[in-house]
Structure formats: structure tokens, C-alpha cells
Structure 1
Amino acid sequence: MSPQTLEDLPKEIMLSVCSFLDVTHPQSLVAYAQASKSCYAVASGLLYRTIKLTFTTSEHLARDVGTWEKLLHRDEVFAQVRRLIIYQSEAKDDRRRTYSSLKECERFDDDSSLQSFWDIYPGVWGDRYPGFLGYREHGGMDRTGDLERIPTVWPLVAQLMKKLPGLTDLYFTCSLEFPACLLQTLHETLTEKKCRLHYYGFGGLTHGGGRDGALATSPCLYSYGPSRTDLIEPTARSLVLHQAPILKGLSVMLPFDMPSAHLDLFSDTDHENQDEDDNITVLSGHQKSKPVPLEYLQVRKVDTPNILQSNSFKLSSWATDVDFSALRVLRLEVAVRPKKLPAPSMFPALTTLFFQCAIDLNPYFRYWDTVLSFLRHLPQLTTLQLQDWSRWISVLPGLKSDLRRLHLSRQVRLDTKETVDCDDIHKLADICPQLEDLSIEIRRRRSDENETSLYRALGRLPRLQTLEIKMDPWFDAFDEEYLAGHPLDPPGPYRQGHVRDVFVNGAIDRSLARSIFKVIDAAKAELSGAVLPLKQLEVQAPTHDVPFRHRELQPFLDALRRRWLVERDFRLDAQDMLHVREVDLKFKSEHNESIAFYDNGPYTGPDEELEPILSIWRRLWPSKGEGRPWWEDWESWPLALEA
């Protein structure tokens, strides 16, 4: 349909179409907006529903505010802004504020989203500790400088907020205390309009007075995720929960130096701290308040979240403060002891669960039986992400027919146990016929018939539209065995064939990614009934997980590391067209640099240590004499499509 034809349609119809594109295919919304001035006039309101302010310095933040004011004034869309995100960044990249750069969870609320603001803005705490876990209390300061002390910056943001009459959500994701002028603007200008504050920052709400008290009792505070650990204390937790009148979301950080990484959640049988819990007061009163009906709860920890240690960290009192019957999203990003798993009946409304599995368990199988039973009896669960699931335990007994999204990450173990086979995929199709989004790991087999059959089996999932495959490049159990009586019994040197197979299985290029998509799509075409086409496939080879730890092998594994995204064309008249592009290019450039300057110097050719491995590489991919370096001179093995 030409732009002229689109312009002839009523504005109300095109606005509905644009709203649909905003949710399903943002790229098409951008393309429509660029078609003509009249198209842009219709779409601009959606393009500006979410705006982002970033800062690395006070000058950068002020410039960002000025840029947005000019854009909003030019297009007369101040009233269309619904979300304002203020986030801290170390990179001065203006592209991050564009509509195309927005994550799904930034554009609109979605309970099934597996991303949170702590996932997409890890720089607030992530790998650097300034502004995190009491850093300032020990004399530290943010790398960006303390903007709180610069009086001319935050009032500019406050003035912008006053010009946004339709603002419904303010996200503050910074390692700074919440500015007083922004809080005043929320209370004086936006409270009646029910603007919600989502505060993911440094400041705490548990000190009771001054600005902390004003923020904790704010009628706008909707979700709270501190970069510090105040909420592990029962009294502090109770104060925060019962002071904020509309609080629905909470993200709890556990201390990185805590001697335990597991949670004792919701225990009705553990009365060790019952007296302490009964003595908790709320503000100045002496009567307990009713549990708060949270809708979102995240419990996270920086280090070793999958390790269970002997000393238990008690969170039994949470059941007295929180009504979990309203909880829709639960992210347990730390391991939980099996006997302390809550009863599934406590979560009648839970639709999304992130569950971090433990890896040091005794007894072993009892833990997985308990977890499977817990998953199986969650009545409303539709989105499930399992982290570090055992390679030896099938997840199928814990799944239900209503599941729509499943992301399964297996434990990294140096064994030959395959994570999934054709029979597993067939059973998954029978158990979860509504599955639309799947992320799994598959063992590569040098592109042979058995590997191709796995991709065909994935085509048995009738409603599957989004698929992520993490390739396991390790060889199978037969190839791992040594000849009987051979003196080099494991553990011992790996054979050259082992290295060769890892290279073959780790080599995933554009052509192979496209072939995998076509095999799965062809298998879906053979199904009858209501079948949805595969829309997106993501393929990557985690070569860092292979059990080779030799220094000499690492540059070769880095050279093979690729991540491909295959997408079906969104247009109805071009559904057979596939678009393949490489993602994570920043990661690729960083690793290419590590290859070129391997071992603290330019890598121009093999040395005595690298030469044996390079000879295996060249046996697979001989030099074509085109002057290309060895790390670019490779290609994948094609699939055996005759199977």
C-alpha cells in the first residue's frame, strides 16, 4: 500500500494501526512515520510516548533536556508523553534516546517480559560498585560526579516534567538520591494525574525523616529498587512497605559479602524469629498492619546466586508484610533451599516466574522433585525462565499446558550429557501446545542428520514464533571415549579430533542460521490446525562454555563466537523473505581486538604454542590466498538436508 493510499484512510483507523505496530513491530511504525508529513503527524504521538534522559555529566543532562524540549515543541506532542526515563550512563551515545532504541519493557508494561530495569540498566550497580551497597557511606562518589549538589540541573528536569500533562510513569534509574525538586513536582503537579514513580537508585527510604520520609510516604511511589541492602532488615522492610500507599513493586538487593546466597522464604514452620517479627511496629504505632498486596517482587544478589551455603539468611517475616496472592511477577534470582520453597497455592495470580536453581545440592534428586512440584502447581503461570537447570533432570514434568514462554538455561558442566533430544521436543509440543517463545540449548553434531532432525522436531510446536537456540559445541559421549587400554585415560590430553569437532560445531555463520530457520519453518508447514509461523530465530554458539581451558585455544574460540538473528519479513506480501543480521557487534569488536593483540602484542602468525591448534584450523579451512586473516577465514558446515 502506497503512502498516498494510507493518507486517504481516516485518522482514527491509522492511529489504531500505528498502536498495533507500536506493540508488534516498532520498525514498521518508524517506516510509516517516515513516509510523509501526514503519516508522521499520526505516528508522532506514539514515537514520543516514552522519552529518555541520560547523563554522564551535568552538562550532558542539561543538553539532553534542551534537545527533548525542542523536539516536543516542534511536533507539539508534550501531551503525548506517558513515560519519562532518567538513567545513568557512562557512554555519550545520543542514539540511546531514540524510539528505535527502546526496549519492550520501556515502551509499555508487560507481565510476561523477562527483562526488568535492573537487567537493562546494570550500570547502576552491575560490575562497578560506586553508589552501591553503602559506597558513599565509606567515602566514595559516583564516577559521574554528585549531580545532587548541582542546583541548576535537576530544576531543568522538573520544568520539563511540568510541561507533560499526560505523564503516567517516571523511572529514575540512577545511583543517586532522588532529587527533592522532582519529588516536589510530582506532588504539586502530577499527583492528581496519578503519575507513578519507579525509583531504582541509591537512596534509602528507611531512615524515617527528611527527604527519605517524604519519598517513602509519597502517594506516587509505585515501585522501589534500592542499590543498597536496607530491606533485608524486617523493621526497615515493614516501614517501607506500610508507608508507601500505592507501592506495588519491590526489588531487593542482598549484600555481596553475605555468607549465604539462599533464601528462607515464606516458612510457616520456622518460629526461630517469631518473637522478633511480632514486635515489629509500623511507624509510631503498635498494631500490625495488614500485608501489602505487591504485584512484582525481585530478589537479587551480585555474587554466586546459584550457590547454597550453610548459614541461612532468614526472610520468613516477609509473609507477615506481603500479601502474595496479588503477586503477578516473581523473580527469585538467588537459589532457594528445597524445604523452604513456598506453597504454590500462595501465588494464585502469578503469571511470570524467574527461578535461579542451585548447583550444590545434597540430597540431589529431592531438590529437583520439589522444584518440579512447585512449578507444576502454579495455577496461572504462563512465562517461565529457569536458570542453571540440571542437565540430568528433565524439566518436562514441571510444565503445564498454558505455558506460553519458556527460557531454559542449563548448568555449565564438563560432561557429555545432552540437554535435549528429539523425544524431549516432541513431548514438549504435546505438553505445551500454546508455547510461543522458547529458548533452549542444543548439542551440535557437525550438521549431520541427527542435528537436522532436532530442528525439524522444533517445527512440531504449532504456535512457536520466537526461538533462541544456544548451541553446545561439545562432542558426544562416543567421541569422548579413549581406546581401551590407552595410557592416556581421562583426565588427559584431548585428541586433535576433539579440538576439530569443537571448531566445526562452534562455526555458525549467516548461511547456517538461515538454513536452521528454513528447516524449522518447513516442519511447521506440515502441521494441520491452527499453526502460527515462526517469526524470529536467534542462534549463538557459547564457545566460552567448552571444557577447554588452555590459553592457546581461546583466540580461536573467540574468532568463532557469533550471534545471529533471523527475522521473517513483517509484510504480508513478503512472508517468505528472511532477514539475517549479526547482533552483539560490540562484543565481536572487543574479541577481534583481543585476537589481533593476543598475549599483549600484535598477533601476526603462529608461535610454538599456537601452531598445533592453527594446523587443525587450517585443515578445516585452508587459506584461500585472499589476504584475509585466519580468524575471518572460516565458514559453517551445511546441514544434512537429505535426512
Structure 2
Amino acid sequence: MEILPIEIKWHICRFVKANPFGILAPLSLTSRDWYDATAPILYETLRVKFGDSVTLQKAVFELKEGRHIVCLWNYSEKPWHQSNMIYRSMELVHYGLPASENTFLKYCLKECLDPELWPYIPDFRHYQEENWQPLVSLIAHLEHLSELNFVVKNMYPPSLHQVLRQYHPECRLNIWTFQGVNLDTPILPRIQRPRAYENLDILCSSGLHTVAMDYFMDEAGRPWVHSDGILPIVCMTPSLKHLNIRGRSSHSVTLLKSVGKEYTATVKPGLAACLVSLSFTSPARCGPWEKTLLEMASFVDLSRLRSLDISIHSDPTLLMRAASILTSLERLFLTMDPWMVRTAGQSADDEDMIAAVQAFNPLKYLWLRGLQRSESLHRILIQHGGSLRGLAIEPWDTNHQNSMLSTRYKYPLLDSHDVTELSGSCPNLQELRLPIKRRGGRLCECDIYNAIGQFPQLHTLVINLGCYHWSNCLNSQNDWAASFRDTLINAATDEGLARGIWDLIVSKQSTQSLRHLRLVPFGAAVYSEEKSNAVWEVSRSFLVTRNTCTGQPPDVMEIGTEVWDLLGLSRGEIKGSEYWSSRAKKLAIWFLNHYSFSLRAQVAVFSGLHIPTEALNYRQKPSFPQ
């Protein structure tokens, strides 16, 4: 291979770019020629990770003073296994929003989708010292910088803005962390006061491609102060393509509209932004975004918007009106979260919300949160099913509504007939996310997996496995014990179960197009803390990937094992169990004796699905401890 022309080597490197550090990193060490061929790909992206000014200075110094970059990390190790880190954690690599991505379910394959694990994943932090000079110096010395992603929880600093415009005027700027463009300086933190006005200049600068900004509301009991004076200013930036707006709580500061109007008067009229994606991110019960969306149409062209992420709260008819404007929309991410529950009850979908989804032109990708009835889904697919390439039904946690435990999660209970009907309505579907309620591997559950195999073009599948078994009719401890036992059985997942579900699906798929299957158990949050911990500890998430070697079994990888390392726990140990009551300890001991965390029990074949023999015969096991 050494005699190959450099052009051929470049083509080889581009071909294996999907897994650069698994293949390209060792290849780069074989010779100088291969290093020259692989370096543009290996070091195409530089991630500067720091916690304070000392670590920032050290990172920049090592990069500038080193004669050659050999490798950013030891390619034989995982990137989060760094000896100089006091606390190890999951590597946080994803900061984009679903609506701003060019893919649909790709980020779901390896991301942590379980809210129970989110507290253990580090979030982006505020840089208290704000000494940006090392980073400014680094940017000034780079020969070519085409894109800068700012993911620090700070106001974007003017010093970075200045060096970027001076040395890399064509650089694309993505500000992913929320920027406070409020101007009520007495309430702002001291560190932000002198920058509020400058920040408007930065947010309107050329090169701004992505920005996240806060949408403020006034104090409780007074009318909301919309960002009417700020949004038009930001949307004057022609290069802006992705806008993310966040709602703040009632304690947020007030926008001074007069200053916004004053600033607008100083700005020369120009081309408005042509947004590609628009996302409304908010805590529960912030909005109403339907009104904001419609108002934005008065100062920015939304006719070419391709992707929208929004929650419907109060007036779906406004979204219907917006649908007539969003004529180019291809991707809709929609949360159905009505503030008022209609007379039909909590288990019914809002008819106006269903009609709002139907009002859009046929979509290519549809992501629904909070949908409850399979009948509603089928009605929506009459309009969109034939054009869909991707469909996601996300189980929606209604914790903020203090719902009954039996209705904690909103999602349609689909059976095999429903899935078969879906495959007929969506013949071109390639990516699918579905919630499925586990039923101990019984025939009705296996039939659902068989039905999923009827999607001929499906290549990416994410299944949220509902493991909780709850009823409002549990009248005794025995009833509760039996219910919780079923939950533990459904929650316990292992590699054999993951392979079994894969085998069932692909056995019915004539095209054998399935490439990726992600399994994500959910439902632990239904129970109290100690019981939730027990369910969480036995719930394991897996990614099954088709083996590139024909005839070989699929590759199975557990997702989220870094959290176990972070917590210092081994399989079979339940967090906080030393504080449990004696009865709770009996529950854990009973489960560990009968359903090991690795599920090494003898495997039986039940309708083609591999599940532990003990799970099939659990009713013959010793009674659940009282």
C-alpha cells in the first residue's frame, strides 16, 4: 500500500471516515506518507476541553508547542478514560438539537436516552474566570478555521468575536448555549452587565449560523414581555440558519423594548435570515409557542423553513394557521402538552392537536411526544404516512403534571395489528422509534417484533421498552408484590434478549435492510426512590448492529456502562441499598437470586425469542417476600 498515489490514499481515508480512530489512528502511525494522508481527517475537528484558566492554558500550550500532533488520545482506549481526570464520566459529544441535525435517529443510537441517568452526565458549565486569552491566541495562530462551536455556559465573549472576524472572517459561528440578550442591567449578574448591549452586536454579526437565545417572561400575574424587540434584530442576520429559543421561568428579568427599538433604528435594512430550523425549548408550561411562531412570520421568511420543534400548549388552531405558511417544512418535532384537559379525560388526545398535525403538507420526518392513542396515530398517517422516511413516537413523561402513576408516561399502547397497519401506511419508512410495553416475552409481545419486520426499507430502529407494570387496583401487599415482580422481570435485559429481539425482526424482513437496533428500557420513575433504584439497576440498554461479515451474528454493545464506572458500582449492587428497609432488601435479594444481572439462566426459545427460562416460569418460583 505504500506505493499507492496520495490521491488513492485520500480516497481510502475518506471511505473509512465513519470510524476514524478505530482504523485511521493506527494507520497514521505506520509511515510518514500515511500520516500525511490521514491527518486532515483525524484532526479535522479540534475540541478544546477545559475547566478553568489553568487547564485551558495547558491545553493550548501543549497544542502550540508540540512539533507534531500524533494523536489526541490513545486510540486503544476510550476517550473518557483519562488518567488526569479526577472524576470520570460519560463523554458528552452531542450538543446539537434534533431539529438542527441532518440526520433523524442517528444521535439516538449511542446517546443516553434514559432520564434516570441524566443527573450523572456532566452538563456544560459556566467558565467563572472568563480568561479567554489562551483561546484567542490559539484561534489567531490557526491557518484555517471554517467552523467554531461555542458550548460554554457564558455570554459569547467579544474577544472571541473580534479575533474570529479578524483572522477567519468566513468562519461559521454556532452558539449552542443560551444567550441572554436582556437589557435590564440592575438584575443581571455583575459579570454580564457591561456586555448586554455588545451581545446584540455579536448576535447580529456576519458568520452567525446557529444561536440559542432566551425568551423572557415578566413576573407572575403580569403580561408576558415577549422578545418582540430582540427577535427581529437577531433575524436580520442573513447567515443565520438555526435558531433555538428557550422559555424562562416567571422569575426571569424584563426586556426593555425601548432599547430594542433604539437599536433597530441604528441598523441598516438588509436581507432577513432564511431559517432552516427553528426550535422552541422550554421547561414545562412555558409558552405559548404557537403564538410566538405566528408572530415571527411577520419579520422573517418562514416559507423555506425545513425543520420545526415546538410544543402545543393552548391554541392548536394557531399552529394550523402557521402550517399554511411553512410550505417547505420536511421535519416536524411536536410535543402535545395541553394546559387544559378536555372532558374526554387524560387518556384522550386533543382533537385540535391532531388536526394541527394533519394541516401540514406531507412530511418526510415526524417526531411526536405526548400522543396517547393508536387511533390518533393512524389518522395522522393518512396525511403523512406515504411520504415519511422517519417516524418517532417518544414516550412522554408527565411528571410535571403530578399524574397518577398509571398515566405517568404518555404513549400509544401498540399491538401487532397496529404495527402491521403502520407498515402499510408508511411503505417508505427507513427510521423508526416506537414505545413497546414489555409483557414478559409472551406471544403478544413477540408478535409485535415480528410485525416490525414488515417494514421493507427499515434500517434504523429504536425501541423504548416499557417495563413498569402498574395498576390503580392494587389493593394488597400481595398485589403490589406481584406487580413489582413483573416490573423487574420486564426491566431485566441482557445481550441474549437483545439478540433475540433482533433475530425476530430480521427473520420477517425480506430485504434484510435493518442495520441498527437500539433498546432502551424505561419506567423506573413510576416508583418511589428505593424501588426505582432497583428497577434502574437491572435495566440495561443495548445497541445491536448488523455484522459486516456475511453470515456472522450481529454485534451487541451495552450503552451507558460509563455511568456504572462513575458510580463505582458493579452489576448486582444497587445504589443506596444500605439505607433500605429490611423488606426492600428482601426484594433485592429475591431478585438477585432468581434473575441475575447478567441473566445467565438457561435460555429457552419462546416463539423465536430468547428469554430466560426463569422468566417464563416465574409463577412456579418461591413466593415473593412479604
Separation of aligned partners in 2, 1:591 and 1:555: 15
CA distance in 2, matches of 1:160, 1:286: 32
* Aligned counterpart, 1:248: 241
Q: Say what the alpha-carbon RMSD is for the aligned residues.
A: 4.4
- Residue type of the partner of 1:541? P
Alignment of 1:173-188 (within 5 A): 173-188=151-166
Query: Could you list the runs of 5+ residues in structure 2 that have no partner in the other structure?
Result: 73-83, 113-117, 184-194, 218-224, 398-404, 610-626
Kept in 2, the 8 Å contact 1:282–1:289? The answer is no
Q: Any unmatched runs of 5+ in structure 1?
A: 78-89, 121-125, 133-141, 260-275, 482-488, 622-629
Q: What's the offset of the Cα at 1:440?
A: 0.9
Q: Which amino acid aligns with 2:302?
A: F
1:347 aligned residue: 326
CA contact (8 A) 2:419 2:451 kept: yes
Q: What is the percent sequence identity of the aligned residues?
A: 19
1:332-366 Cα deviation digits (max 9, x unpaired):
15645322214323222222222111155325599
1:47 aligned partner: 42
8 A Cα contact 1:249 1:294, kept in partner = yes
Q: 335, 339, 342: which is aligned to 1:356?
A: 335
* Residues 1:145 and 2:131 aligned together: no
Aligned counterpart in structure 1 of residue 522 of structure 2, from 537, 542, 548: 542
Secondary structure of the residue that 1:566 maps to in structure 2? strand
Aligned-partner Cα distance in 1 for 2:501–2:476: 35
Please give the alpha-carbon distance, in whole angstroms, between the structure 2 residues aligned to 1:383 and 1:63: 44
Aligned pair in 2 of structure 1 residues 287, 215: CA closer, same or farther (>3 Å)? Answer: closer
Aligned residues of 1:456 and 1:520 also touching (Cα < 8 A): yes
Task: Give a deviation string over 1:435-471, Cα, whole Å, max 9, x none.
Answer: 2221111122221222222111111111111111111
What TM-score do you get using the length of structure 1 for normalisation? 0.72
CA gap 1:609/1:197 in 2 versus in 1, 3 angstroms: closer
Aligned to 2:622: none
User: Equivalent residue of 2:205, what SS?
Assistant: coil
List per-residue Cα deviations over 1:173-205 (Å, max 9, x = no partner): 2122223332112222211xx211112346545
Q: Secondary structure at 2:230's aligned position in 1?
A: helix
Once residues 301 and 418 of structure 1 are traced to their aligned partners in structure 2, the CA distance between those partners, rounded to angstroms, is 24
Q: Is the 2:533–2:574 Cα contact (8 Å) retained in structure 1? A: no
1:405–1:436 CA contact under 8 A, matched in 2: yes
Distance 1:17 1:454 in 2: 41
CA distance in 1, matches of 2:69, 2:166: 27
* 1:468 pairs with 2:462: yes
In structure 2, the CA distance between the partners of 1:322 and 1:35, relative to structure 1 (3 Å rule), is same
Offset, 1:492: 5.5
For the pair 1:607 / 2:582, whether they are aligned, the reply is: yes
Q: 245-254 or 355-364, which moves further after superposition? A: 355-364
Q: 1:58 aligns with which of 50, 53, 61?
A: 53
Question: Structure 1 residues 202, 565: closer, same or farther in 2, change over 3 A?
Answer: closer
The verdict on how the C-alpha distance between 1:102 and 1:313 changes in structure 2, with shifts beyond 3 A counting, is closer
CA distance in 2: counterparts of 1:459 and 1:597, whole angstroms: 36
Q: 1:57: how far off?
A: 0.5
> d(CA) in 2 for partners of 1:39 and 1:14?
8
Residue-pair matches, total: 544
Q: Distance in 2 between matches of 1:170 and 1:58?
A: 20
The answer to whether the 8 A contact 1:442-1:469 is kept is yes
Structure number with greater CO (CA < 8 Å, separation at least 6) is: 2
Distance 2:574 2:488 in 1: 21
- The Cα shift of 1:15 comes to 2.6
Please list the CA deviations of residues 207-237 of structure 1 after superposition, one character each: whole Å capped at 9, or x if unmatched: 5986324313421222211357499420122
Aligned twin of 1:508:
493
The 3 A distance-change label for structure 1 pair 558 and 642 is closer
Q: In the superposition, relative to structure 1, how do residues 351 and 567 fare at CA in structure 2: closer, same or farther (>3 Å)?
A: same
Match of 1:554 among 532, 536, 548: 532
Alignment of 1:124-523 (within 5 A): 144-147=127-130, 150=131, 154-191=132-169, 194-201=170-177, 203-205=179-181, 211-226=198-213, 229=216, 232-242=226-236, 244-257=237-250, 283-284=264-265, 292-304=273-285, 316-333=294-311, 335=313, 337-343=315-321, 344-359=323-338, 360-362=340-342, 368-379=350-361, 381-391=363-373, 393-399=375-381, 400=384, 401-411=386-396, 414=406, 419-475=413-469, 493=477, 494-523=479-508
Name the SS of the counterpart of 2:265 in structure 1: coil
